[in-house]
Amino acid sequence: MATMNSWVVENMDNGFDGLVYKDTPVPKVGETEVLVKLHAASLNYRDLIIPKGMYPFPTQLPIVPGSDGAGEVVEVGSKVTEFKKGDQVTTVFNQGHQYGAIDIPATQTGLGGVIDGSLRQYGVFQQTGLVKSAKNLSAVENSTLPCAAVTSWNALYGLKPLKPGQVVVVQGTGGVSLFALQFAKAAGATVIATTSSAQKAEKLKKLGADHIINYKEDLNWGETAKKLSPDGAGVDHIIEVGGSGTLAQSFKAIKFEGVISVIGFLGGVDPTTQPSILDTLGQICTVRGVYVGSRAIMKDMILAIEANDIHPVVDEKVFSLDQTREAYDYMWDQKHFGKLAIKIH
Protein backbone atom coordinates (compact mmCIF):
# COMPACT_ATOMS: atom_id res chain seq x y z
CA MET A 1 0.00 0.00 0.00
CA ALA A 2 1.34 3.42 -1.01
CA THR A 3 1.93 5.81 1.87
CA MET A 4 2.53 9.53 2.22
CA ASN A 5 3.65 12.10 4.77
CA SER A 6 0.77 13.67 6.68
CA TRP A 7 0.16 15.81 9.72
CA VAL A 8 -2.62 14.60 12.00
CA VAL A 9 -4.32 16.36 14.91
CA GLU A 10 -4.67 13.43 17.30
CA ASN A 11 -5.95 15.30 20.36
CA MET A 12 -6.79 18.75 21.68
CA ASP A 13 -5.30 18.23 25.13
CA ASN A 14 -1.78 19.52 24.48
CA GLY A 15 -2.14 22.38 22.00
CA PHE A 16 0.28 22.12 19.09
CA ASP A 17 1.83 19.02 20.68
CA GLY A 18 -1.33 17.26 19.52
CA LEU A 19 0.02 17.61 15.96
CA VAL A 20 1.78 14.44 14.83
CA TYR A 21 3.80 13.94 11.61
CA LYS A 22 3.40 10.39 10.34
CA ASP A 23 3.07 8.02 7.40
CA THR A 24 -0.54 7.46 6.32
CA PRO A 25 -2.05 5.57 3.37
CA VAL A 26 -2.58 7.42 0.09
CA PRO A 27 -6.39 7.54 -0.17
CA LYS A 28 -8.26 5.66 -2.90
CA VAL A 29 -10.37 7.48 -5.50
CA GLY A 30 -14.12 6.91 -5.69
CA GLU A 31 -16.30 7.33 -8.78
CA THR A 32 -16.91 11.06 -8.32
CA GLU A 33 -13.62 11.85 -6.59
CA VAL A 34 -10.28 13.34 -7.59
CA LEU A 35 -6.81 12.49 -6.28
CA VAL A 36 -4.69 15.62 -5.91
CA LYS A 37 -0.92 15.81 -5.44
CA LEU A 38 -0.85 18.75 -3.06
CA HIS A 39 1.88 21.30 -3.80
CA ALA A 40 1.08 23.96 -1.19
CA ALA A 41 -1.08 24.82 1.79
CA SER A 42 -1.59 28.02 3.76
CA LEU A 43 -2.43 28.52 7.41
CA ASN A 44 -5.39 30.31 8.94
CA TYR A 45 -6.12 31.33 12.52
CA ARG A 46 -8.70 28.52 12.45
CA ASP A 47 -5.96 25.95 11.88
CA LEU A 48 -4.15 27.17 14.98
CA ILE A 49 -7.10 27.07 17.35
CA ILE A 50 -8.38 23.60 16.35
CA PRO A 51 -5.55 21.71 18.14
CA LYS A 52 -5.98 24.12 21.06
CA GLY A 53 -9.64 23.10 21.40
CA MET A 54 -10.83 26.69 20.83
CA TYR A 55 -12.68 26.26 17.52
CA PRO A 56 -16.46 26.88 17.84
CA PHE A 57 -17.55 24.79 14.82
CA PRO A 58 -17.65 20.99 14.41
CA THR A 59 -14.42 18.97 14.46
CA GLN A 60 -13.78 15.26 14.27
CA LEU A 61 -10.52 13.73 15.49
CA PRO A 62 -8.14 12.39 14.38
CA ILE A 63 -8.05 14.80 11.43
CA VAL A 64 -5.50 15.92 8.84
CA PRO A 65 -5.31 19.70 9.44
CA GLY A 66 -5.20 22.44 6.82
CA SER A 67 -8.11 24.54 5.56
CA ASP A 68 -6.45 25.64 2.29
CA GLY A 69 -4.57 23.74 -0.39
CA ALA A 70 -3.57 23.72 -4.04
CA GLY A 71 -2.04 21.09 -6.30
CA GLU A 72 -2.34 18.96 -9.41
CA VAL A 73 -4.86 16.30 -10.38
CA VAL A 74 -3.12 12.92 -10.69
CA GLU A 75 -6.17 10.62 -10.93
CA VAL A 76 -9.92 10.99 -11.47
CA GLY A 77 -12.84 8.67 -10.75
CA SER A 78 -14.90 7.12 -13.54
CA LYS A 79 -17.77 9.63 -13.18
CA VAL A 80 -15.69 12.80 -12.82
CA THR A 81 -16.58 15.32 -15.54
CA GLU A 82 -15.04 18.60 -14.34
CA PHE A 83 -11.37 17.69 -14.09
CA LYS A 84 -8.73 15.65 -15.86
CA LYS A 85 -5.25 14.50 -15.01
CA GLY A 86 -2.79 17.41 -15.01
CA ASP A 87 -5.32 20.11 -14.05
CA GLN A 88 -4.14 22.64 -11.48
CA VAL A 89 -6.74 22.85 -8.72
CA THR A 90 -7.46 24.62 -5.44
CA THR A 91 -9.59 23.27 -2.62
CA VAL A 92 -12.98 24.65 -1.54
CA PHE A 93 -13.05 25.25 2.22
CA ASN A 94 -16.58 24.16 3.16
CA GLN A 95 -16.85 21.28 0.72
CA GLY A 96 -20.64 21.20 0.97
CA HIS A 97 -21.20 24.94 0.36
CA GLN A 98 -21.71 25.01 -3.38
CA TYR A 99 -23.78 28.16 -3.95
CA GLY A 100 -26.24 30.46 -2.25
CA ALA A 101 -26.60 30.86 1.51
CA ILE A 102 -24.70 28.54 3.83
CA ASP A 103 -26.78 26.07 5.85
CA ILE A 104 -26.04 23.97 8.93
CA PRO A 105 -25.00 20.79 7.02
CA ALA A 106 -22.49 22.81 4.99
CA THR A 107 -20.83 24.11 8.17
CA GLN A 108 -19.99 20.49 8.95
CA THR A 109 -17.92 20.01 5.79
CA GLY A 110 -14.89 22.16 6.58
CA LEU A 111 -11.48 20.91 5.48
CA GLY A 112 -9.12 20.27 8.35
CA GLY A 113 -11.96 20.15 10.86
CA VAL A 114 -14.42 17.45 9.83
CA ILE A 115 -12.93 16.39 6.48
CA ASP A 116 -9.20 15.66 6.13
CA GLY A 117 -7.38 18.80 5.05
CA SER A 118 -4.37 19.90 3.04
CA LEU A 119 -1.31 19.27 5.25
CA ARG A 120 -0.36 16.03 3.50
CA GLN A 121 1.19 14.99 0.19
CA TYR A 122 -1.98 13.65 -1.44
CA GLY A 123 -5.69 14.23 -0.88
CA VAL A 124 -8.88 12.80 -2.34
CA PHE A 125 -11.71 15.29 -2.79
CA GLN A 126 -15.15 15.22 -4.37
CA GLN A 127 -14.99 16.96 -7.74
CA THR A 128 -17.39 19.54 -6.28
CA GLY A 129 -14.81 20.26 -3.55
CA LEU A 130 -12.29 21.73 -5.98
CA VAL A 131 -12.03 24.60 -8.44
CA LYS A 132 -9.54 25.22 -11.22
CA SER A 133 -6.66 27.30 -9.89
CA ALA A 134 -6.13 30.91 -10.93
CA LYS A 135 -3.96 30.76 -14.06
CA ASN A 136 -1.84 33.78 -13.06
CA LEU A 137 -0.88 32.40 -9.65
CA SER A 138 1.63 29.84 -8.40
CA ALA A 139 0.52 26.87 -6.30
CA VAL A 140 1.67 28.69 -3.15
CA GLU A 141 -0.39 31.75 -4.11
CA ASN A 142 -3.45 29.67 -5.03
CA SER A 143 -3.25 27.88 -1.69
CA THR A 144 -3.97 31.18 0.09
CA LEU A 145 -7.36 31.63 -1.60
CA PRO A 146 -9.94 29.20 -0.09
CA CYS A 147 -10.50 30.88 3.29
CA ALA A 148 -9.09 34.41 3.51
CA ALA A 149 -9.67 35.50 -0.10
CA VAL A 150 -13.15 33.99 -0.40
CA THR A 151 -14.13 35.52 2.95
CA SER A 152 -13.09 39.01 1.87
CA TRP A 153 -14.72 38.63 -1.57
CA ASN A 154 -17.95 37.49 0.11
CA ALA A 155 -17.77 40.45 2.49
CA LEU A 156 -17.45 42.92 -0.39
CA TYR A 157 -19.77 41.25 -2.90
CA GLY A 158 -21.95 38.66 -1.14
CA LEU A 159 -24.68 40.96 0.20
CA LYS A 160 -24.40 44.49 -1.20
CA PRO A 161 -21.79 44.53 -3.98
CA LEU A 162 -19.00 47.08 -3.73
CA LYS A 163 -19.14 49.85 -6.36
CA PRO A 164 -16.40 52.05 -7.82
CA GLY A 165 -15.85 55.21 -5.80
CA GLN A 166 -17.10 53.73 -2.54
CA VAL A 167 -14.99 53.64 0.63
CA VAL A 168 -13.78 50.49 2.40
CA VAL A 169 -12.13 50.20 5.83
CA VAL A 170 -9.80 47.26 6.43
CA GLN A 171 -8.38 46.50 9.88
CA GLY A 172 -4.79 45.33 10.34
CA THR A 173 -2.64 43.25 8.02
CA GLY A 174 -4.07 39.74 8.25
CA GLY A 175 -4.92 37.72 5.18
CA VAL A 176 -8.60 38.72 4.95
CA SER A 177 -7.83 42.43 5.36
CA LEU A 178 -5.07 42.44 2.75
CA PHE A 179 -7.20 40.58 0.21
CA ALA A 180 -10.03 43.05 0.85
CA LEU A 181 -7.61 45.94 0.25
CA GLN A 182 -6.51 44.44 -3.08
CA PHE A 183 -10.04 43.57 -4.22
CA ALA A 184 -11.35 47.02 -3.26
CA LYS A 185 -8.56 48.84 -5.12
CA ALA A 186 -9.13 46.70 -8.22
CA ALA A 187 -12.81 47.74 -8.08
CA GLY A 188 -11.97 51.45 -7.99
CA ALA A 189 -12.76 51.97 -4.30
CA THR A 190 -10.97 54.15 -1.75
CA VAL A 191 -9.36 52.14 1.05
CA ILE A 192 -8.73 53.28 4.62
CA ALA A 193 -6.47 50.86 6.50
CA THR A 194 -5.83 50.70 10.24
CA THR A 195 -2.62 49.44 11.84
CA SER A 196 -0.50 50.04 14.94
CA SER A 197 2.85 49.63 13.17
CA ALA A 198 4.73 52.26 11.15
CA GLN A 199 6.55 49.45 9.31
CA LYS A 200 3.26 47.78 8.35
CA ALA A 201 1.85 51.18 7.36
CA GLU A 202 4.52 51.47 4.67
CA LYS A 203 3.60 48.04 3.32
CA LEU A 204 -0.08 48.99 3.28
CA LYS A 205 0.77 52.12 1.26
CA LYS A 206 2.64 50.00 -1.29
CA LEU A 207 -0.43 47.79 -1.63
CA GLY A 208 -2.49 50.87 -2.48
CA ALA A 209 -4.13 51.98 0.77
CA ASP A 210 -5.29 55.59 0.31
CA HIS A 211 -5.35 56.49 3.99
CA ILE A 212 -3.75 54.83 7.01
CA ILE A 213 -4.81 55.35 10.62
CA ASN A 214 -2.70 54.20 13.56
CA TYR A 215 -5.39 52.89 15.92
CA LYS A 216 -3.11 53.04 18.97
CA GLU A 217 -2.35 56.72 18.41
CA ASP A 218 -5.91 57.57 17.33
CA LEU A 219 -8.26 55.76 19.71
CA ASN A 220 -11.24 57.41 18.05
CA TRP A 221 -10.24 56.21 14.58
CA GLY A 222 -13.86 55.53 13.61
CA GLU A 223 -14.69 59.24 13.53
CA THR A 224 -11.42 59.93 11.69
CA ALA A 225 -12.34 57.38 9.03
CA LYS A 226 -15.78 58.97 8.66
CA LYS A 227 -14.22 62.41 8.12
CA LEU A 228 -12.02 60.93 5.36
CA SER A 229 -15.09 59.73 3.44
CA PRO A 230 -16.79 61.92 0.76
CA ASP A 231 -18.81 64.68 2.46
CA GLY A 232 -18.02 63.02 5.80
CA ALA A 233 -21.02 60.74 5.31
CA GLY A 234 -19.19 57.58 6.38
CA VAL A 235 -17.71 54.50 4.77
CA ASP A 236 -19.60 51.91 2.72
CA HIS A 237 -17.93 48.65 3.80
CA ILE A 238 -15.94 47.71 6.90
CA ILE A 239 -13.98 44.46 7.18
CA GLU A 240 -14.38 43.93 10.93
CA VAL A 241 -11.80 41.51 12.34
CA GLY A 242 -11.07 43.00 15.74
CA GLY A 243 -13.97 42.27 18.07
CA SER A 244 -15.76 44.31 20.71
CA GLY A 245 -13.44 47.30 20.86
CA THR A 246 -13.09 47.80 17.13
CA LEU A 247 -16.80 47.21 16.48
CA ALA A 248 -17.64 50.29 18.55
CA GLN A 249 -15.38 52.35 16.26
CA SER A 250 -16.80 50.68 13.16
CA PHE A 251 -20.26 51.93 14.14
CA LYS A 252 -18.82 55.46 14.28
CA ALA A 253 -17.30 55.11 10.81
CA ILE A 254 -20.12 53.42 8.89
CA LYS A 255 -22.36 55.25 6.45
CA PHE A 256 -26.15 55.01 6.51
CA GLU A 257 -27.02 51.72 4.74
CA GLY A 258 -23.38 50.63 4.91
CA VAL A 259 -22.28 47.08 5.68
CA ILE A 260 -20.05 45.96 8.56
CA SER A 261 -18.83 42.44 7.78
CA VAL A 262 -17.82 40.68 10.99
CA ILE A 263 -15.02 38.22 10.18
CA GLY A 264 -13.32 37.61 13.50
CA PHE A 265 -12.63 38.70 17.04
CA LEU A 266 -8.84 38.93 17.21
CA GLY A 267 -9.08 41.65 19.83
CA GLY A 268 -11.34 39.54 22.03
CA VAL A 269 -14.90 39.93 23.25
CA ASP A 270 -15.43 42.35 26.11
CA PRO A 271 -19.02 42.78 27.32
CA THR A 272 -18.20 46.22 28.74
CA THR A 273 -17.27 47.61 25.30
CA GLN A 274 -19.75 45.54 23.28
CA PRO A 275 -21.98 47.84 21.20
CA SER A 276 -25.72 47.32 21.45
CA ILE A 277 -27.60 45.66 18.62
CA LEU A 278 -29.68 48.86 18.63
CA ASP A 279 -26.64 50.64 17.17
CA THR A 280 -27.63 49.06 13.86
CA LEU A 281 -30.79 51.16 14.01
CA GLY A 282 -29.02 54.28 15.22
CA GLN A 283 -26.52 54.05 12.35
CA ILE A 284 -29.05 52.54 9.89
CA CYS A 285 -26.55 49.90 8.82
CA THR A 286 -26.21 46.15 8.33
CA VAL A 287 -23.91 44.06 10.53
CA ARG A 288 -23.27 40.71 8.86
CA GLY A 289 -21.37 37.66 10.05
CA VAL A 290 -19.37 36.09 7.21
CA TYR A 291 -18.33 32.43 7.24
CA VAL A 292 -16.04 32.12 4.20
CA GLY A 293 -18.23 31.58 1.10
CA SER A 294 -19.49 29.18 -1.53
CA ARG A 295 -17.78 27.43 -4.42
CA ALA A 296 -19.72 29.70 -6.80
CA ILE A 297 -18.36 32.80 -5.03
CA MET A 298 -14.85 31.35 -5.24
CA LYS A 299 -15.15 30.86 -9.00
CA ASP A 300 -16.29 34.47 -9.46
CA MET A 301 -13.39 35.67 -7.33
CA ILE A 302 -10.83 33.69 -9.34
CA LEU A 303 -12.10 35.30 -12.56
CA ALA A 304 -11.50 38.73 -10.97
CA ILE A 305 -8.03 37.69 -9.75
CA GLU A 306 -7.09 36.61 -13.28
CA ALA A 307 -8.62 39.68 -14.98
CA ASN A 308 -6.83 42.11 -12.64
CA ASP A 309 -3.66 40.02 -12.17
CA ILE A 310 -4.01 40.23 -8.39
CA HIS A 311 -1.29 38.40 -6.45
CA PRO A 312 -1.82 37.44 -2.80
CA VAL A 313 0.48 38.88 -0.15
CA VAL A 314 2.50 35.90 1.11
CA ASP A 315 4.93 36.12 4.01
CA GLU A 316 8.55 35.99 2.85
CA LYS A 317 9.17 32.97 5.07
CA VAL A 318 7.74 29.83 3.43
CA PHE A 319 7.90 26.55 5.35
CA SER A 320 8.18 22.96 4.09
CA LEU A 321 5.68 20.26 5.06
CA ASP A 322 7.96 18.76 7.71
CA GLN A 323 8.34 22.26 9.25
CA THR A 324 4.60 22.70 9.79
CA ARG A 325 4.89 22.69 13.57
CA GLU A 326 7.37 25.58 13.37
CA ALA A 327 4.97 27.36 11.01
CA TYR A 328 2.19 27.06 13.60
CA ASP A 329 4.44 28.64 16.26
CA TYR A 330 5.59 31.37 13.86
CA MET A 331 2.02 32.36 13.06
CA TRP A 332 0.81 32.06 16.65
CA ASP A 333 3.57 34.50 17.65
CA GLN A 334 2.26 36.86 14.92
CA LYS A 335 5.57 37.07 13.12
CA HIS A 336 3.92 36.84 9.69
CA PHE A 337 2.74 39.54 7.26
CA GLY A 338 -0.03 38.42 4.94
CA LYS A 339 -0.60 34.72 4.35
CA LEU A 340 1.72 32.05 5.74
CA ALA A 341 2.40 29.29 3.23
CA ILE A 342 3.75 25.73 3.33
CA LYS A 343 5.31 24.09 0.28
CA ILE A 344 4.59 20.39 -0.12
CA HIS A 345 6.89 18.12 -2.13
pLDDT digits (tens, 9 = 90+) for 66-80: 999 999 999 999 999
Residue 149, classed as helix, strand or coil, is: helix
What b/e string do you get for 296-308 counting C-beta neighbours within 10 Å, with b at 16 or more?
A: ebbebbbeebeee
The residue ranking higher by pLDDT, 177 or 268, is 177
Residue 154 has a pLDDT of 98
Per-residue pLDDT band at 217 (split at 50, 70, 90): very high
Q: What is the mean pLDDT of residues 312-326?
A: 97
Q: What is the mean pLDDT of residues 21-47?
A: 97
Per-residue pLDDT band at 267 (split at 50, 70, 90): very low
pLDDT over 80 at 237, yes or no: yes
Residue 274 has a pLDDT of 62
Q: Report the distance separating Cα 1 and Cα 260, nearest Å.
A: 51
Cα–Cα distance list, 300 to 12, 134, 306, 314, 332 (Å): 36, 11, 10, 22, 31
Residue 1 has a pLDDT of 78
- In this structure, what are the phi and psi dihedrals at residue 135, rounded to the nearest 5 degrees? -65, -25
Residue 173 has a pLDDT of 92
pLDDT over 70 at 184, yes or no: yes
Q: Report the distance separating Cα 334 and Cα 306, nearest Å.
A: 30
Residue 297, classed as helix, strand or coil, is: helix
Q: Report the distance separating Cα 302 and Cα 299, nearest Å.
A: 5
Residues 6+ apart with CB under 8 A from 343: 39, 40, 140, 318, 319, 320, 321
Residue 271 has a pLDDT of 55
Q: Report the distance separating Cα 5 and Cα 45, nearest Å.
A: 23
Cα–Cα distance list, 10 to 25, 45, 116, 144, 295 (Å): 16, 19, 12, 25, 29
How high does pLDDT run on average in the chain? 94
Per-residue pLDDT band at 264 (split at 50, 70, 90): low
pLDDT above 70 covers what percent of the chain?
96
Residue 329, classed as helix, strand or coil, is: helix
Q: What is the mean pLDDT of residues 228-244?
A: 93
Domains contained in the chain, CATH given = 3-144+314-343 (3.90.180.10), 150-289 (3.40.50.720)
pLDDT over 70 at 266, yes or no: no
Per-residue pLDDT band at 272 (split at 50, 70, 90): low
Model confidence pTM above 0.85: yes
Q: What is the mean pLDDT of residues 14-22?
A: 96
